[in-house]
Chain A
Amino acid sequence: MMRDITLGQYYPVESPVHKLDPRTKLFGTLALIIALFVADNVFCYGIAAVFLFGIIAVSKVPVRHILKGLKPVIFLLLFSATFNLFLTPGEELIHFWVFTITKEGLIRAGMMAVRLIFLVMGTSLLTFTTTPNQLTDGLERSLRFLKVFRVPVHEIAMMMSIALRFIPILVEETDKIMKAQMARGADFETGGLIKKAKAMIPLLVPLFISAFRRASDLAMAMEARCYHGGEGRTKMKPLKYRTADRFAYVILLVFPVSVAFLRVFL
């Protein structure tokens, strides 16, 4: 029942995007985010669309697969769209009872929706084309300067990659425990809020216990494999910029700049 969570799962195909340095991809995501927030007219979004769908095409990840990642944010999407649709003042288009839809509202709702959709697609593309390990490596390297401020960058990166590895396992486990309790007559669906919250105890307690057991097992397994923090560690896949990355950086710089340009001059 929870198998359709695609967010954050690596999609293993060979493509130029997969081969890029994770730092390049992180920068690209950042560029996309900036561009989307700067964008305020159709042309800006047009460029963003070309940029995003161009990369998706090169990445060989099926668009359908990426769209599945939108499922968890549909509610947020509808919420923000409705909000903008009805609450933006301007030229009136339709009016009924207390609701007014304005031209500006319509445009804004549309833009907000596109912005959010592009944002989610862009970030999920990052996780589809980058293994969690590469991703955390990239973050670790990009944020290394924070070490000066005593931020445990390596440790945080390691925790992130482990969390990503265990999310699908814990999701499956939740499903299993839920079924086991349903077999004992537990009811997770009916009743008011308090009853529902109470019904979660037989699910949450075993889940937490299992998570703790896994954590302790994993800690032991890591220790047994000589893990002792980031010090003196080498990398199997060290980050190295190649020609493709340099080329990508050029595009990644041109893209937000051109969006900003269109915003100012159109």
Chain B
Amino acid sequence: MIKLERVEYKYNEGTPMEAEALHEVSLEIHDGEFIGLIGHTGSGKSTLIQHLNGLMRATGGDIRYNGESIYKEGFSMRDLRSRVGLVFQYPEHQLFEIDVFTDVCFGPKNQGLPREEIEERAREALSLVGIGESYYKKSPFELSGGEKRRVAIAGVLAMKPEVLILDEPTAGLDPKGRDEILGQVARLHKERGMTIILVSHSMEDVAKYVDRIMVMNHGRLVFNDTPRAVFSHYKELEEMGLAAPQVTYIAHALKEAGFPMETDVITVAEAEEAILCTLAMEEER
């Protein structure tokens, strides 16, 4: 479990250029949760996730991992980084080895594991993202965009993190590629019980997959609730440069036009059901 207590981060602290990127962010991430993190560009969400694995150090407040402060003397940041895996945006830009398999081995190798274990983990991670053995000896630079992305994600998975943070893992991919990656992430959550934090700009995707949404705005955590509850604030979200899924707008538009349906729908399937249900009720009358 990760717990943030009034975490603050200031750039250039103590100089006139001081700028606050995070303001008293307090939150908890429980084991096995699937969390969506949203916020417009520059809202502080990237800064926030880099705090979770110790790449950035808070200038105020505390972060506890399983009850232990990560800023305590003697706490191993490297150990934290292998437990909290972070997949950056465009992770394929970090590939560097001569072949796919060796590249995925990089993480576990840094963990100092024995060779068999390293290879075992690499194989497992690659199969988790759907990269078959025929790819192992290929150069990562020969692959298609979507394949590269999946290899890069495997590179983090091979470290067997307990928490996986993905910063816009679907940026630049086509709709099918998007669904494939998110499907695999959802499987990791469901089958392996991995805790997932998904940073995304797509409200539709977030609505479809996550249990809880955290919304960042101007360095503050402004909402932290179920998708349904968060998207009911669609007007406030718009003021922050965000939005709700399109179906939520459809529901509101229908209600305004005198169609007596529930407005808290957030996926196409829910909207369909709600509309059919309301129509059926009307017919009975």
Contacts and interface: CB of A to CB of B under 8 A. Distances in A.
Main DSSP-derived SS at the B contact region: helix
Contacts of B88: 176, 179-180, 183
Interface string A178-211: 0111111111000000000000011001100110
Contact of B78 (A185, A206, A209, A210): A185
A139 interface: no
Nearest to A208: B96
Contacts of B96: 201-202, 205-206, 209
Interface in B38-97: 50, 53, 55, 78, 81-82, 85-88, 91, 93-96
Given A206-B93, A206-B96, A184 B159 contact: yes
Contacts of A210: 93
Q: Counting chain B CB atoms within 10 Å of each CB, which of A183, A187, A202, A209 scores highest?
A: A183
Contacts, number: 55
Contact of A182 (B81, B87, B95, B111): B81
B107 interface: yes
Contacts of A206: 93-96
Contacts of B36: none
Interface in A87-127: none
A170 interface: no
Contacts of B50: 179
B127 interface: no
B118 to A, nearest CB: 12
A185 B121 CA distance: 15
Given A180-B91, A180-B94, A202-B94, A187 B110 contact: yes
Contacts of A182: 55, 81
A177 interface: yes
B263 to A, nearest CB: 40
A186 B93 contact: no
Chain A: interface size category: 10 to 19
Contacts of B107: 184-185
Main DSSP-derived SS at the A contact region: helix
B80 to A, nearest CB: 10
Contacts of B159: 184-185
A95 B155 CA distance: 60
Nearest to A173: B93
Nearest to A185: B110
A117 B131 CA distance: 57
Interface string A153-177: 0000000000000000000000011
Contacts of B7: none
Given A179-B50, A179-B88, A209-B141, A184 B106 contact: yes
A182 B84 CA distance: 12
A183 B106 contact: no
B55 A179 contact: yes
Given A183-B86, A205-B96, 5 more contacts: A176-B93, A181-B94, A183-B53, A185-B106, A187-B78
15 contacts: A182-B81, A183-B53, A183-B81, A183-B156, A184-B107, A185-B159, A186-B106, A187-B110, A202-B94, A202-B96, A205-B96, A206-B94, A206-B96, A209-B141, A210-B93
